[in-house]
Amino acid sequence: MPYQNNLTHKEKDYLEDALQMENLTITKCSVYTDQCRDQDIKSLLIDIGKTKRQHANKLKQLLGQVGNQQIQ
Amino acid sequence: MVYRNRTTTTTSRNRLSDRDMLLDLLATGKNMSHLYDHAIMEASNSTIRDTFETLQHDEHMIADTVFGVMEQEGWYSTGADRQNQAQNMGNSQRQSGDFDTQASSRYAASSGSPRFGGNLAGRGQSSRSGRSQSRPGTASQMEWTL
C-alpha cells in the first residue's frame, strides 16, 4: 500500500528475474541438502533454503500485490 | 579465485562434493547480488528498492557464512595463502624481482619453459630436438597441463 500502483517494466523484470533466481537457489539447496555428507553443511544448506524461501515469498508478494492494486 | 585442492572437486560422477556445492552457492549468490545491485539502482519505487536492499543484505550475509565455512575447511584459499604457496613452490610469478638463479634453474629443470622460449626464437627442427632433450618429460608435461 505505501508504494505506487504501477511497477515500471524494469522493476517487474527485475522482480521476475530475482524470483526465478531465488527459486533456482531453493531447488539447489534442497538437492544439495540431500546429497551433502557433512551434517554442519547440511544444516547450513537448510538455513539458506529457508532464507531463500522467504525471499521468494517477498518477491511474489510484491509482484502479486501490485497486480491486484492495478485493478483498483 | 584460487582453489586449493583440485583433487577434492568432484568425488564421483553425477555427484558434487560438499565443496563444489558451496562453491556453486557462492557463485549463484554472487550472480544474484549483481542482479540486486542493478535492481536497486533502477528502482523508482521506494518499497521495491527497500525490498531489494534487504534481499541484497541477506545475500551478503549468506555469502559471508558460506565463505567462512569454506575457508575453515580449507576449500577456499585467499591471497595470503596463495602467496605462501608460491613461495613454497619456488615459483615467484608474482614477485619476479625475487627470481634468483636457483629458482630459475629449478624452473628450467622442471618445466623446460626457458628452453621453450629459446625454441621460439630459433625455428623448426631445433625446437623438436630441444624439446626431447629436456629430461623429466612427464614432469614438464604435467606442469603444462596445470
- Segment A22-72, tens digit of pLDDT: 999 999 999 999 999 889 999 999 999 999 999 999 999 999 865 444 443
Confidence at residue A53, expressed as pLDDT on a 0 to 100 scale: 95
Residue B65, C-beta contacts closer than 8 angstroms, at least 6 positions apart: A44, A48
Answer yes or no: is pLDDT of B80 > 50.
yes
Helix (H, G, I), strand (E, B) or coil at B103: helix
The region of weakest confidence among B3-17, B35-49, B68-82, B109-123 is: B109-123
A33 touches chain B (CB under 8 A): no
Interface list for chain B against chain A, based on CB atoms closer than 8 Å: 15-16, 18, 21-22, 24-25, 28-29, 31-32, 35-36, 38-39, 42-48, 51-52, 54-55, 58, 62, 65-66, 69
If one compares B16 and A66, the residue with the highest pLDDT of the two is: B16
Answer yes or no: is pLDDT of A2 > 50.
no
Could you count the other beta carbons within 10 Å of the beta carbon of residue B131?
14
Q: What is the CA radius of gyration of chain B?
A: 23
Q: How confident is the model at residue B109 (pLDDT cuts 50, 70, 90)?
A: very low
Determine contact, residues A7/B48, Cβ cutoff 8 Å: yes
Confidence at residue B70, expressed as pLDDT on a 0 to 100 scale: 93
CA distances from B20 to A15, B58, B66 (A): 28, 21, 12
Answer yes or no: is pLDDT of B123 > 60.
no
Cβ-nearest to A11 among B16, B32, B43? B43
ipTM score above 0.90? no
Confidence at residue B118, expressed as pLDDT on a 0 to 100 scale: 47
DSSP H helical ranges for chain B: 18-42, 46-73, 79-88, 101-111, 113-121, 125-133, 137-145
Mean pLDDT for B64-87 is 82
Q: Do A18 and B18 touch (CB under 8 A)?
A: no
Q: Do A11 and B39 touch (CB under 8 A)?
A: yes
Greatest C-alpha distance within chain A: 51
Could you count the other beta carbons within 10 Å of the beta carbon of residue B136?
13
Mean pLDDT for B134-138 is 49
Grid cell of A17 as nine digits: 528475474
Between CA B33 and CA B39, with CA B37 as vertex, the angle to 5 degrees is: 115
If one compares B14 and A46, the residue with the highest pLDDT of the two is: A46
A26 touches chain B (CB under 8 A): no
A19 touches chain B (CB under 8 A): no
Give the residue on A whose Cα is nearest the Cα of B50.
A3
Q: How confident is the model at residue B10 (pLDDT cuts 50, 70, 90)?
A: low
Mean pLDDT for B61-82 is 87
Mean pLDDT for B133-137 is 48
Distance from CA of B47 to the nearest CA of A (A): 6
Give the rounded percent of residues in chain B with a pLDDT score beyond 70: 47
Cβ-nearest to A25 among B28, B51, B54? B28
